[in-house]
Structure 1
């Protein structure tokens, strides 16, 4: 941070975001006069206060400090024929889907394109099940973009076909750090979370595997029972990206993620609300406000009268900002398989190739040359090579 120009950056951001000196001073715990002296270069605050003041300003950044994504969609259709589901509702060409004679949830078979999965059962009660996890949603958005359709168009076709929503996850990305998950956890422990839920659980990411704390692990807070039809999962997304992809914390696009996980009737009502109002903020925060609110303890008052926590109020401030539904289309890539190769196969392959060099043989080269691609491999190759316009229905 350049201290020579920092104070001018502060002033420019404050004015651009429409924040008064007094409002900034109150939230930073300093006087308005001190803010004025900072902005004129008369005083230089500590680096900690510099960081705090910039963080406060970023909470008021008008360029969407929050965004909402669909992060999990599961829909059941009352048909045992996957063709109309794939070709008429999803509007993809079934010929390019990879067929597998196994599936999850006791379904008999499935059709797959990357992380887009359509499971099939001969049982009419189970019918066909479309499952789009996080990457599946992003990949399907890539096809929606090519089809010039939106999620709302897709959901309209789902309703027309009698589709039943089994699960819907709404992910609110906190890009500037409005949420403080350790603080929210402490509030749950101190009974400063007023909620219809009776349970919460927090742990540091990876704890269930490593069974010990590490300094590079993010915090996760579950509010509500994981078995219920609605619960919340709040976690530090920047730590997740650091652990998974090695992205530096300061370079992460999203600081925290607030996931609203809905099943069955709750999922249906959320989609119906989205279709009615076409307002992601209205839908998401009406669900959040119905189930929880974080407050500040006041021993002089009854718990129901405790004031809402200012930082939490800033997060759910739907009046002051518009929460938009965002899409982040991603093409299907071979990344997952390549990562598996790098972890599981590459070391052994390298060893064998070195042995070839030592023994002056070409066993590995010949092995690869004579390897035959199965029908499944050919289909995967086609999925990688095809432009998205070729995969969608005309």
Structure 2
């Protein structure tokens, strides 16, 4: 029996898009996968209340930060950095891919979408310095190793000056381990990454890749001006299709080689035309994630649970209560108190 792991919603043919449930069988799905947006203000409470819409009581506070910021207010992978008064950095909101999925649970609780969040950012003069999109392809219009073969045969027309690739091979099982293609430089303002997501998930869950359906992931990473322009176009068009696939097609195009004409006259490959042509089926996809502090629970399960079980079994045999006494006498840190509040709260109680 085949077991499906990620993405559970997409493989069932259902996504949450624009607050509607839609059938997306054999359709590309697009997700917000990473973002950073800065504000020229030091009023953290205003950003939390009017942009992020999360109550500060449920967030942890640290007197450390990244990118030159001096402090952080965060709820797991959703982070708000702040700077000292007079520092031009102001406030920065950052969400990793996991943070975007968590934030979608709060958007859903407020009956809002990413468009509403982007509009709030714009209304408060936010500047988008990083904006990543991810395209999940479970129809698999092409295989990633096939693309690599086309590239090696000079059947790629691109604006990028460089591309890299890597792959892996399981010597013991004599099986391929998946291929990844990188277009452009990680230091540039635009960067594309194509890879076989089914192989990545198989490694993550230590499963055979055959247990997963075909699944490619195409990531678009934009910085600074390109990130800002992409958001502006997205807000104008209200169509992620235009942003995601237009960016991909602008930077790369696969063609069929011909010996009788020069490269600029090569015709676009049929599979690439199909891929770009079906872009109209794309939707802004939300996969809300309500599982917070999963890393901490996994650490507890893997590192502490065996020891706790040992003490519990000892108590049962000797008639002691060492484990229960340890738990009762333990004092929670401020961080753990915040985590507990999040665990026990309803999602709706955490938004403002």
TM-score of the superposition, structure 1-length normalised? 0.76
CA distance in 1 between counterparts of 2:214 and 2:78 reads: 24
What SS does structure 2 have at the residue aligned with 1:316? helix
Give per-residue Cα distances to partners, 1:180-206, cap 9 Å, x unaligned. 11111222222211111111111126x
Give per-residue Cα distances to partners, 1:72-114, cap 9 Å, x unaligned. 0110111122111110112221222111122222221111112
Q: How many residues align?
A: 330
- Any gaps of 5 or more consecutive residues in structure 2? 2-22
CA distance in 1 between counterparts of 2:173 and 2:255 reads: 29
Q: State the shift of 1:249 in Å.
A: 4.0
CA distance in 2 between counterparts of 1:159 and 1:370 reads: 49
What SS does structure 1 have at the residue aligned with 2:147? helix
Range moving further from structure 2, 323-332 or 66-75: 323-332
CA distance in 1 between counterparts of 2:219 and 2:61 reads: 32
Give per-residue Cα distances to partners, 1:137-192, cap 9 Å, x unaligned. 11111111111221111111111111010100111110111131111122222221
Are the aligned partners of 1:204 and 1:213 in contact in 2 as well (CA < 8 Å)? no
1:376 aligns with 2:342: no
Q: State the shift of 1:218 in Å.
A: 2.2
Q: State the shift of 1:227 in Å.
A: 0.6
Are the aligned partners of 2:26 and 2:139 in contact in 1 as well (CA < 8 Å)? no
Cα distance change of structure 1 residues 279 and 344 upon mapping to structure 2, 3 Å threshold: same
- Any gaps of 5 or more consecutive residues in structure 1? 2-60
Are the aligned partners of 1:64 and 1:323 in contact in 2 as well (CA < 8 Å)? no
Are the aligned partners of 1:281 and 1:318 in contact in 2 as well (CA < 8 Å)? no
CA distance in 1 between counterparts of 2:256 and 2:333 reads: 62
Cα distance change of structure 1 residues 247 and 328 upon mapping to structure 2, 3 Å threshold: farther
Larger Rg: 1
The residue aligned with 1:57 is none
Q: State the shift of 1:342 in Å.
A: 3.3
The residue aligned with 1:258 is 218
Alignment RMSD: 2.8
Residue 118 (structure 1) aligned to one of 80, 98, 106: 80
CA distance in 1 between counterparts of 2:316 and 2:68 reads: 49
The residue aligned with 2:129 is 166
The 5-angstrom pairing of residues 131-142 of structure 1 reads 131-142=94-105
TM-score of the superposition, structure 2-length normalised? 0.85
CA distance in 1 between counterparts of 2:172 and 2:83 reads: 42
1:85 aligns with 2:44: no
Range moving further from structure 2, 351-360 or 236-245: 351-360
Structure (1 or 2) with the greater helix fraction: 1
The residue aligned with 1:278 is 238
The residue aligned with 2:350 is 391
1:73 aligns with 2:73: no
Range moving further from structure 2, 346-355 or 85-94: 346-355
Give per-residue Cα distances to partners, 1:322-377, cap 9 Å, x unaligned. 21111111113342212223344445555666777898876555433321111221
Are the aligned partners of 1:144 and 1:150 in contact in 2 as well (CA < 8 Å)? yes
Are the aligned partners of 1:172 and 1:258 in contact in 2 as well (CA < 8 Å)? yes
CA distance in 2 between counterparts of 1:126 and 1:102 reads: 15
The residue aligned with 1:322 is 281
The residue aligned with 2:167 is 204
Residue 100 (structure 1) aligned to one of 26, 46, 62: 62
Are the aligned partners of 2:102 and 2:292 in contact in 1 as well (CA < 8 Å)? no
CA distance in 2 between counterparts of 1:235 and 1:262 reads: 18
The residue aligned with 1:307 is 267
Cα distance change of structure 1 residues 254 and 368 upon mapping to structure 2, 3 Å threshold: farther
The residue aligned with 2:252 is 292
The residue aligned with 1:5 is none
The residue aligned with 1:63 is 25
CA distance in 1 between counterparts of 2:54 and 2:126 reads: 17
Range moving further from structure 2, 180-189 or 213-222: 213-222
Residue 90 (structure 2) aligned to one of 111, 117, 127: 127
CA distance in 2 between counterparts of 1:157 and 1:94 reads: 18
